[in-house]
Structure 1
Amino acid sequence: MGRYSVKRYKTKRRARDLDLVYNDLSSKESILKLKNQPLDETKPGLGQYYCIECAKYFETQPTLDLHRRGKVHKRRAKELKQRPYSPLESQAAAGYNVQRFMESVEKYKQLEQNKKDNQAEYDALVLQRNDTLDAIITGIPSGTLEQDADGKTQAEGQADANVDAEAMTDA
């Protein structure tokens, strides 16, 4: 064991692994829980200044802000954008549990397809809701929101006609 032992430096400032931090970032509840921790005298800064991506506590808010602008934090945040490997993936790469891995891949593809389908339905509902809200705000019945050949809604066409009529009466 030499003076510059690699083992000593590897464990001196050990941070949480990426897969554990990725799980912390997976839900809003866990993020809020980590950001709003109760006061703890044993942690730096009483546990109030915590970087979730790096899993580190800081003494003050300025030191946390300085850390977030740094290279180490940016590198860690970039690594967390990718989904970390699971134990099942590593076993499949070694040739074990390949069938289970393929089943999980199919399940994941199905979930992604469901997300896309739900997103399309959600987008359609949002558009419909926005049209209805516009109609409520302008006081125009919602049945008059179909578009004509020019791409304008009937309500817009009526508004243009009203503006033209007012311009004729003013002249």
Structure 2
Amino acid sequence: MPSGGQRKHTISNKTRKRPGKDLDQIHEDLKPEKAAKLLQQEVDYDLPGNGQFYCIECERHFIDEKTRQLHRKTKLHKNRVKTLKEVPYTQAEANAAGGSGFFPAVTLKSRVELPKQPEMAVKIGE
């Protein structure tokens, strides 16, 4: 046991302060009709940037478009997009993997193309 001066005073990285959505919930948000609603949200003064600058893949709000564009270039965002390209498993596939029932049509996973978000012309460094 470490002495008083050597204790770890930070919260473990294994737990998040604000738990986010699961990947299957984000897949639902990426459907075109729902994505359009999320990108065109009403003004909410409690959110950063009044809720107008939202990254669907990372489920984060940003102060302005410049900050969101900088976020899209980060490793965190690129890794999240990479994990979202995989198709989520269905309940039928889970049952087939568990050996309950007969599912002859279970196939290998294919890649999903994420919808393109509208790019706004923002010059960084203005």
If the length of structure 1 is used for normalisation, what is the TM-score? 0.51
Mark the runs of 5 or more structure 1 residues left unpaired by the alignment. Answer: 109-171
Once residues 56 and 86 of structure 1 are traced to their aligned partners in structure 2, the CA distance between those partners, rounded to angstroms, is 26
Match of 1:90 among 91, 94, 107: 94
The worse-fitting range, judged by mean Cα deviation, of 87-96 and 38-47 is: 87-96
> Which residue identity does 2:29 align to in structure 1?
D
- Higher Rg: 1
Number of residue pairs matched by the alignment:
100
Matched, 1:32 2:36: yes
User: Which runs of structure 1 show a deviation greater than 2 angstroms over 4 or more consecutive aligned residues?
Assistant: 2-6, 86-92
Report SS of the residue matched to 1:11.
coil
CA offsets, 1:8-43, max 9 Å, x none?
A: 7522243211111111112x2211111100001221
Q: 1:76 to 1:31 in 2, by over 3 A?
A: same
Match of residue 76 from structure 2:
72
Residues 16, 54 of structure 1: 8 Å contact kept: no
More RCO (CA 8 Å, sep 6+):
2
> Which residue identity does 1:16 align to in structure 2?
K
Match of residue 4 from structure 2:
none
CA offsets, 1:60-116, max 9 Å, x none?
A: 1111111101111111111111111223322322223x33xx26x37x9xxxxxxxx
Residues 50, 64 of structure 1: 8 Å contact kept: yes
> Which residue identity does 1:37 align to in structure 2?
Q
Mark the runs of 5 or more structure 2 residues left unpaired by the alignment. Answer: 1-7, 108-126
If the length of structure 2 is used for normalisation, what is the TM-score? 0.67
Cα RMSD after superposing both structures: 2.4
Match of residue 130 from structure 1:
none
Match of 2:54 among 50, 54, 63: 50
